[in-house]
Amino acid sequence: MHAPVSIPEFWILCRSAVAGLPEQPPIAWPFGATTEHADELLELVLAGTKTGTASSFWDYEATDEPLPAAGDLSIILDGAGDPRAVIETTDVQTIPFDEVGAEHAHAEGEGDRTLEHWRQVHERYWREHSENPRGFEPDMPVICERFRLVWSR
């Protein structure tokens, strides 16, 4: 395990290892809504199992955050808030929840990687942790992202 470093220090390390990255660090965030979930999902990213994620379009509307786009870089934090990895978004599609396919569920890398598991976990997540008053609906717009691991510490 590495000693914690600040995001600017982490970004300097990353830029020294990966040519062509911008000078300013990208947005930093953890997966999930809890410390444990952030650590579990980060480990899946680091193992190469998790290459996709899904977000509620309604949450982006509620928080007024910019929507993800192909080419975006992100620093992924662990459950303690320490920077651990950099990912690059490779594809973004907005799809109704009930039309998200098995391929995307598999790319998210969680549980048994089936669509049934993905639907159960994500419905529960959005019912419990949505940042918008609508929460979950079967046809809600879901932002399905694919990404690649650029660098990890």
Please compute the mean of the pLDDT values over residues 46-69 and round it to a whole number.
96
What is the average pLDDT value for the chain, to the nearest integer? 96
pLDDT at residue 1, rounded to an integer: 59
The whole-number pLDDT of residue 3 equals 77
Question: Residues near 151 by Cβ (< 8 Å), separated by ≥ 6?
Answer: 14, 17, 18, 85, 86
pTM summary value? 0.94
Q: Where are the domains of the chain?
A: 24-152
How many secondary structure helices (H) and strands (E) does the chain include? 5, 5
pLDDT over 70 at 27, yes or no: yes
pLDDT, residue 4, reads 82
Report the pLDDT value the prediction gives residue 2, as an integer from 0 to 100: 67
CATH number of 24-152: 3.10.400.10
- Write out pLDDT tens, residues 76-102: 999 999 999 999 999 999 999 999 999
Contact 115, 142 (CB under 8 A): no
**pLDDT score of 106 more than 70:** yes
C-alpha closest to that of 10 among 30, 31, 28: 28
